[in-house]
Structure 1
Amino acid sequence: MNPEHYYIAAGFNLFTEERELAVLFSGEGKPYPDHQMGPSVHDYYLIHTVLDGEGVFQTGNVTQSCKAGDTFVIFPGTLFSYKADHDHPWHYVWVAFQGEAVQPLLEGIGITLEHPVLHVENTSEVYTVYERLRLSFRQSAYPRLESLEASGWLRLLLHHFGLANLHTLPELPREIPEMINRQIDRAVRWITLQFHQQISIDHMASTLGYHRAHLSKAFKARTGMSPKQYLLKVRMEKAKELLCGYLTIDQVSSSVGFNDALYFSKQFRKWSGMAPSEYRSKLRQDSELL
């Protein structure tokens, strides 16, 4: 047993040559009452998430009591200290990492030297990610693969922190035209590739990080159509292509995302001015004339 902990477990990366993002080590521990680290300085980033109990974290001008769900970040080259509570010492998990991509990644989710503490509600879900990250280091014959796996789990962990920190982020970055254009491009690709599925515009909007009304407004400004109108356009144009072939009307309907062939026929008539069967007959007549 570690002389300063009731319980401690850790995994270490044997391959730390990744320049973009490399996990160094990860662990879990429950220290004794009043156990303290620092004042000290590290040359890497170190994140702790409290699972249970309490303690105090201090860095720069920040001094904060932390309890279950609180996560604190230690920045390289910055003096810090943290101490377990006397009556209810904390139980926490941690991960250390470094790399060229780290600072912009953290800043992008609202973690800075001035705001190094955040709170996550679902500690069990976050704990699972930490555990999978630590268990990536199996000390196998393939440390490079272990390192890749760990960096993937770290990115997922940062994703959780970003979601927890959304309320602290300004809305302005999401209004940058370049970002909106990228999201509209994603929506267009989504519709173009998934038109045969039962697409929910609400689901697509929430996945892209927008309210439906906001996405529809931006989408229409870019394409001249709402997402629903654009989806219908893609489906109808594809239906026209398929009606040139051997598929039945029912099969064409199903292939372009309509479960009801009668409803498909009604929509196709509105779009083209004729029923699918009429459109097909006209195509064949035109072909014979040629």
Structure 2
Amino acid sequence: MPAASSKNTNQHRTSDHYKFTDYNNTQPAQGELSLLFSGEGKPVAGHFIGPAVHNYYLVHTVLSGRGTFEIDGVRYSCAKGDTFIIFPDELFTYRADEKEPWHYMWVAFKGHISEHLLLTLGFSPSRPIVHTDDVRPLAALYRKIRGALESTPFPELADLEANGLLRIFLKELGLLNAGNLAFNSIAIVSDIDRQIKQAVRWLSYQYAQQISIEDLSRSLGYHRTHLSKMFKQVTGVSPMQFLLKVRMERAKELLNGQYHLSIDQVASSVGYTDALYFSKQFRKTFGYSPSEYRLHARNFK
């Protein structure tokens, strides 16, 4: 969903929505659980999102109408009272029905306890749906969250209130999913493992961008030195060494012949603005230049 500021809210009909409202948390806290944005939409028939991947959790609750949601290779038919959850780094698609397009509300969040919390509530990419016969309590919480983001002149206070409401909202989802709660059966992942898993995901999906340790640390909310030390302790390499490996492996894929990209284009695609520097890094990693690798790959097809 496109982010809007908490004061400049998009509340009108767009070309693909009869109704669209989105409130952004302008000061989301870093840490355990952080609400990012919340909104409401009534898309036109057949409107769809995806296939796509997010780096945050996104929950939708259907107020009326119908649609389909696909994640983890499984497609679900959703109607009034269904809540579906999009998980980070999972390919998803959702589409409004052609005859009875749905009307839904959504909330997005992230934070290092998010994965464990949803697992204990019985949700996962293979179990992403819960149903209620009375959608009004959830709808009321969505409205309170958006009201918190809209009403206060102090963004930090809005963040406190919205995150408190988010916890209540997730508790309500847990009550609806009571038969699948797993508080006693899910092993608690250590903070270090969780943090490094986040860092690995971030680097694996952001490799094409200009990245520094400062960017990574700021994105995940940890001190640069602390994160680097933990990363090497768990993976055996530094974050930048891991990033180099990701970039070089992706470069090999792009050079294997089917993409028909120039060396400059390959370099840019894996995060290098200087093709000469990219070529030096490639040779240092594999023992031959990008051009030599491309020729070798084509000869053995």
Q: TM-score, normalised by structure 1?
A: 0.57
Q: Deviations over 1:146-195 (max 9, x none)?
A: 0111111111111111011012346965xxxxxxxxxxxxxxxxxxxxxx
Name 1:60's counterpart in structure 2: 72
Name 1:150's counterpart in structure 2: 162
**Are residues 171 and 10 of structure 1, via their aligned partners in 2, closer, same or farther at CA, if it must alter by over 3 Å?**
closer
User: How far apart, CA to CA, are the structure 1 residues paired with 2:34 and 2:182?
Assistant: 29
2:194 is the counterpart of 1:161: no
Pairing partner for 1:10 from 15, 22, 25:
22
2:70 is the counterpart of 1:37: no
Q: TM-score, normalised by structure 2?
A: 0.55
Contact persistence 1:16–1:23 (CA under 8 A): yes
State the shift of 1:16 in Å: 1.5
State the secondary structure of the residue aligned to 1:86: coil
**Are residues 171 and 93 of structure 1, via their aligned partners in 2, closer, same or farther at CA, if it must alter by over 3 Å?**
closer
**Are residues 138 and 82 of structure 1, via their aligned partners in 2, closer, same or farther at CA, if it must alter by over 3 Å?**
same
Name 1:98's counterpart in structure 2: 110
Runs of 4+ in 1 over 3 A off after TM superposition: 169-173
User: How far apart, CA to CA, are the structure 2 residues paired with 1:61 and 1:115?
Assistant: 12
Residue identity opposite 1:24 in structure 2: L
Name 1:129's counterpart in structure 2: 141
Residue identity opposite 1:23 in structure 2: L
User: How far apart, CA to CA, are the structure 2 residues paired with 1:52 and 1:39?
Assistant: 23
Percent identity between matched residues is: 42
Residue identity opposite 2:116 in structure 1: P
Contact persistence 1:52–1:90 (CA under 8 A): yes
2:67 is the counterpart of 1:76: no
Name 2:230's counterpart in structure 1: none
State the shift of 1:134 in Å: 1.2
Contact persistence 1:120–1:161 (CA under 8 A): no
State the secondary structure of the residue aligned to 1:137: helix
State the shift of 1:120 in Å: 1.9
User: How far apart, CA to CA, are the structure 1 residues paired with 2:184 and 2:79?
Assistant: 31
Residue identity opposite 2:133 in structure 1: E
State the secondary structure of the residue aligned to 2:150: coil
Query: Aligned residue pairs: how many?
Result: 174
Name 2:229's counterpart in structure 1: none
Name 2:119's counterpart in structure 1: 107
Structure 2 unaligned residues grouped into runs of 5+: 1-12, 186-301
State the secondary structure of the residue aligned to 1:39: strand
Q: Deviations over 1:18-60 (max 9, x none)?
A: 3111111000010000000000111111000001000000011
User: How far apart, CA to CA, are the structure 2 residues paired with 1:170 and 1:139?
Assistant: 36
Residue identity opposite 2:110 in structure 1: Q
Look at both structures and tell me which one has the larger radius of gyration over its CA atoms.
1
Contact persistence 2:66–2:77 (CA under 8 A): yes
CA RMSD across the alignment: 1.7
2:93 is the counterpart of 1:86: no
State the shift of 1:61 in Å: 2.4
State the secondary structure of the residue aligned to 1:112: coil
Contact persistence 1:26–1:96 (CA under 8 A): yes
User: How far apart, CA to CA, are the structure 1 residues paired with 2:182 and 2:152?
Assistant: 44
User: How far apart, CA to CA, are the structure 2 residues paired with 1:61 and 1:120?
Assistant: 24
Contact persistence 1:121–1:164 (CA under 8 A): no
User: How far apart, CA to CA, are the structure 2 residues paired with 1:171 and 1:133?
Assistant: 26
Contact persistence 2:63–2:105 (CA under 8 A): yes
Contact persistence 2:65–2:80 (CA under 8 A): yes
